[in-house]
Amino acid sequence: MKVSYKWLKELTGLDWSPDEMGDRLTLSGASCEYIESTARYMDNVVVGQVIELGAIEGADKIQKAVVDDGTGRVDVVCGAPNVAAQQKIAFARIGARLVGDFLIKKVKIRGIESFGMICSERELGMSDDHSGIIVLDDDAPVGTLLVEHLDYDDFMLTFELTPNRPDSMSAIGIARDLAALASVKLRRPQIDLTEVATPASDSVKVSIDDPEACPRYAARIIKNVKIAPSPWWVRRRLLACGVRPVSNVVDITNLVMLECGHPLHAFDLDRFGSDEVVVRRAHDREKFSTLDGQEHILDEQVLLITNGKSGVAAGGVMGGLNSEVENDTTNLLLEAAYFNPSVIRKSRRKLETVSESSSRFEKGADPNGIKYAINRAAQLMHELCGGEVQAGIVDCYPKRIEPRTIELRPARCNAVLGSNYSTERMKQILTDLELQVSGDDPLEVTAPTFRPDLEREIDLIEEVVRIEGFDSIKDSVTNIGPLFSRTLPEDQFAREARWVLTACGFDEMLDHGLGSSRVAKLFNPDLPQVRILNPVSEELDIMRNSLVPSALAAVSHNLAHRVLDLRLFELGKVYFAGSDDTDWREPERLALAVSGNTPQGWRETARPLDFHDLTGALQRLVEHFRWPDFDFVPDKVWFLDDRISFRIESEERAVGWAGLIAPDQARALGVKQPVLVAEIDLDGLIDTRKDRIQFEPLAVYPAAPRDLAVLVDVAVPAGEIIECVRQAAGKLAESVEVFDLYTGKQIEKGRKSIALSINYRSQSGSLSTEQVEEIQRRVVSKLEQQFNAEIRDK
């Protein structure tokens, strides 16, 4: 909302600078976002007079004007349709800087030198009107600065208001806070209304069908108005509040709304269609055209102002096309009503429109501010449009809305705030805000109906601190609360998992969690999806059900930017809908993705990242968290390539999958190099690290290391060979590691050589060479039996 600085000065009598006003208001709840000078584009702009006009050869849209700017005559090229000789105009001299940082210089147009510009309102930043140049009064003194002639040195204060404060959506509302901040009295305009004898009730009747939706409807009849442009002071005030002047009647309804916050509507009485106002709900499928030319098909959500037969306005939202005030209008029905905020909210949603009027009613107007608003407007219509105001207000107010009385305990106020305000100060603040205060403990506070937000004691406490300022509360310097803070197991888990994986050279990804139903279907056609009902785009229309598509998207993004060697992980949620309130699930998962090569260094040779780089990282986690070993069981996983596609099991429970992304899925995300992924469901794994490390006594007796190279069929898994060694050697095999794997020329086709390094050790004594030989023989014979293994060399 925008308000004129001069207006606020007038209403408060304060001589604060615009900045001071803005800052103080910001610190008391009406956040002042911008302060702009209304005359910021008027330097070097003066009153000029068009002395003569001449055609320019070969140009029919522009003319040459000779302008007197008070210092002499200059030639100016002008293209405005409304320029005429003898006019007084707004003239920008060379050096003026207009809207859009447009600097006026000497220019040559069609061979004519032009020494300035005749301006429209838009060029001077007054409004967005660019239909023609500004034409000033005939008696405007040539050469005077325009800002002085128009008395236009004002400031426009733009406020960002919170939805709980409808009372501040007006000049008086803002001024009320200012007055409280400075402890001065608000200077409301005095109303001195002249009425004719004829009672308005002879001209119109008002009835309300739905008093819940419309608790009050008031009307006045004003006859014989003359529609014309408003006088300059009205237009100037509207412009300084960012509102475009239209004509006197419309301008007055706008001005009064800006002044006191209450929206008004003027109907053309002769087009109204009857002499009665009936407020009712719209019928289902009832048609109605608003004055912006839109035709709407209504339902009973919309509250309709009717003439007893058909609609003339969507109550509180927008007037109707049929009864709009036009240039030939002479008689008016002026409406000031109060509508239920939630009715207006539903109504404007149905109409898919927001107006100045609806946004005020929706937040809560003042049902008892109607009299001021309608009388103030009637007075101005009499003064400025020559209207005859008929006697009295036709006021239908079936159920009076009374102000609320609230108790405030001064001690409670200080107890909540940690402040030390005196009761007197609290009383004064509340009184300055135009609340009625009596009593001492508690204070009995009556909140006028323009403050619908004040309902409870805490609301009054907020009023006190908002005016006194948060700076008046001393920051506490001691800590309060429990002595001990626990750490969630899942947080500790995530922290440690990140340490392990970053130490393994994996970079952490993080996704927003939204995904595409199309992509998700391509990856996991059978997996349910959680749909977003109002997505921002088709690509983000579900909550993801797997981390794999987002991991692949991250790979794709990086490949597109020529970052080709990737080791990535993400710890994140996937989402599954439930059938009732309790069974929606958001399991935590871990995804790993590798693609490209290991780093190439001056000493290390790069090699392609592969499946074992995934399992390597997983094994580090298994080790760190003391999980049971993972088993990789060949399995058909939809989005994985058949050749490298595994189910991951932990103690025979499936916990995830790992493998090579299949070509279709890779192509769908624009990935052209092999990507290997693993996804693990962490449910059940986070809890498994309860017993932390238990110390094992250091070995007392020496170890006997032996190497063993065996030839076996290529299909024999290394894991089974190791298992076989362990079985044969029993507890004596402390560790069994693969240290070489070879297939090639020196080996028979279909066979491979696996070299094992076995560490034998006994806990009960030193092993003799003979004992070790004996165990080793047992191991060898078991390997020969089980795998048809040959021992390569001794």
Partner 1 sequence: MSPLEEVARLRHEALERISTADSLASLKEFRVQYLGRKGRLTAILKGLKDLPVEQRKQVGAEANKCRVQLEHDFDAAERKFSEKSEAPLIDPTLPGTAQRVGAMHLTTQVIEEMCGIFYGMGFEIARGPDIETDYYNFSALNFPPDHPARDMQDTFFVEGDRLLRTHTTPVQIRELEKQKPPIKIITPGKCFRNEAISSRAHVAFHQVDGFLIDEGVTMADLKGCLVAFCKAFFGEGLKLKFRPSYFPFTEPSAEVDIQCFLCGGDGCTVCKRTGWLEILGCGMIDPAVLEMTGHDPEKYTGYAFGIGVERPAMLKYRIDDIRLFFNNDLRFLRQFV
Tell which positions 436-465 bind partner 1, by CB under 8 A. Answer: 456, 458-459, 461-462, 465
540 counts as binding partner 1 under rule CB under 8 A: yes
Side chain identity at residue 676, one-letter code: L
Supply the minimum distance, in Å, between the C-beta of residue 5 and partner 1: 19
149 counts as binding partner 1 under rule CB under 8 A: no
98, 438, 473, 694 from 442: Cα distances, Å: 58, 9, 22, 65
Return the residue of 229, 231, 386, 418 that touches partner 1, per CB under 8 A: 418
Return the residue of 488, 693, 698, 715 that touches partner 1, per CB under 8 A: 488
Are residues 578 and 584 in contact, defined by beta-carbon separation less than 8 angstroms? yes
State the SS3 of 14-48.
CCCCHHHHHHHHHCCCCEEEEEEECCCCCCCEEEE
Supply the minimum distance, in Å, between the C-beta of residue 36 and partner 1: 13
State the SS3 of 472-513.
HCCCCCCCCCCCCCCCCHHHHHHHHHHHHHHHCCCEECCCCC
415 counts as binding partner 1 under rule CB under 8 A: yes
Alpha-carbon gap, residue 793 to 617, rounded angstroms? 33
Supply the minimum distance, in Å, between the C-beta of residue 337 and partner 1: 19
**272 is written with which tokens?**
């109204």
Classify residue 548 as exposed, middle or buried by CB count within 10 Å of its CB (0-12, 13-18, 19+).
buried
Q: Which of residues 717-736 bind partner 1 (CB under 8 A)?
A: none
- Phi and psi of 656, rounded to 5°? 170, -165
Are residues 82 and 50 in contact, defined by beta-carbon separation less than 8 angstroms? no
Nearest CB to partner 1, comparing residues 235 and 363: 363
Alpha-carbon gap, residue 140 to 88, rounded angstroms? 7
Return the residue of 60, 138, 295, 475 that touches partner 1, per CB under 8 A: 475
Alpha-carbon gap, residue 618 to 622, rounded angstroms? 6
CA 495 to chain centroid: 31
Cα dihedral across residues 276, 279, 282, 283: positive or negative: negative
The closest alpha carbon to 261, from 340, 185, 143, 370, belongs to 370
Q: What angle do CA 691, 695, 697 make, to 5 degrees?
A: 150
Return the C-alpha torsion angle 570, 575, 576, 578, nearest 10. 140
Supply the minimum distance, in Å, between the C-beta of residue 576 and partner 1: 10
Return the residue of 105, 130, 495, 777 that touches partner 1, per CB under 8 A: 495
Taking residues 258 to 277 in sequence order and writing x for each that binds partner 1 by CB under 8 A, - otherwise, the string is --------------------
Supply the minimum distance, in Å, between the C-beta of residue 534 and partner 1: 6
Supply the minimum distance, in Å, between the C-beta of residue 365 and partner 1: 13
Give the number of residues in contact with partner 1, rule: CB under 8 A: 94
Alpha-carbon gap, residue 160 to 414, rounded angstroms? 29
Nearest CB to partner 1, comparing residues 240 and 465: 465
693 counts as binding partner 1 under rule CB under 8 A: no
Supply the minimum distance, in Å, between the C-beta of residue 403 and partner 1: 20
Nearest CB to partner 1, comparing residues 93 and 165: 165
Return the residue of 87, 114, 323, 419 that touches partner 1, per CB under 8 A: 419
Return the C-alpha torsion angle 160, 166, 171, 174, nearest 10. -70
Return the residue of 149, 363, 427, 589 that touches partner 1, per CB under 8 A: 363
533 counts as binding partner 1 under rule CB under 8 A: yes
508 counts as binding partner 1 under rule CB under 8 A: yes
The closest alpha carbon to 277, from 225, 224, 320, belongs to 320
Supply the minimum distance, in Å, between the C-beta of residue 29 and partner 1: 4
634 counts as binding partner 1 under rule CB under 8 A: no
Supply the minimum distance, in Å, between the C-beta of residue 363 and partner 1: 6
Nearest CB to partner 1, comparing residues 486 and 672: 486
567 counts as binding partner 1 under rule CB under 8 A: yes
User: β-strand 733-742 against 704-713: which pairing, if any?
Assistant: unpaired
Residue the block writes with tokens 């580090």: 620
User: β-strand 443-447 against 404-408: which pairing, if any?
Assistant: antiparallel
352 counts as binding partner 1 under rule CB under 8 A: no
Alpha-carbon gap, residue 368 to 401, rounded angstroms? 8
Q: Which of residues 595-614 bind partner 1 (CB under 8 A)?
A: 599, 601-604
The closest alpha carbon to 453, from 158, 33, 173, belongs to 173
Q: Which of residues 291-350 bind partner 1 (CB under 8 A)?
A: 341-342, 345-346
Nearest CB to partner 1, comparing residues 28 and 38: 28
Return the residue of 60, 101, 111, 534 that touches partner 1, per CB under 8 A: 534
Side chain identity at residue 448, one-letter code: P
365 counts as binding partner 1 under rule CB under 8 A: no
421 counts as binding partner 1 under rule CB under 8 A: no
Cis status, amide bond into 215, omega within 30 of 0: no
578 counts as binding partner 1 under rule CB under 8 A: yes
582 counts as binding partner 1 under rule CB under 8 A: no
Alpha-carbon gap, residue 658 to 679, rounded angstroms? 6
Nearest CB to partner 1, comparing residues 567 and 761: 567
Choose one: 42-50, 179-187, 484-492, 516-524; the region binding partner 1 (CB under 8 A). Answer: 484-492
27 counts as binding partner 1 under rule CB under 8 A: yes
Choose one: 120-128, 221-229, 283-291, 468-476; the region binding partner 1 (CB under 8 A). Answer: 468-476
Q: Which of residues 726-785 bind partner 1 (CB under 8 A)?
A: none
Return the residue of 190, 327, 476, 764 that touches partner 1, per CB under 8 A: 476
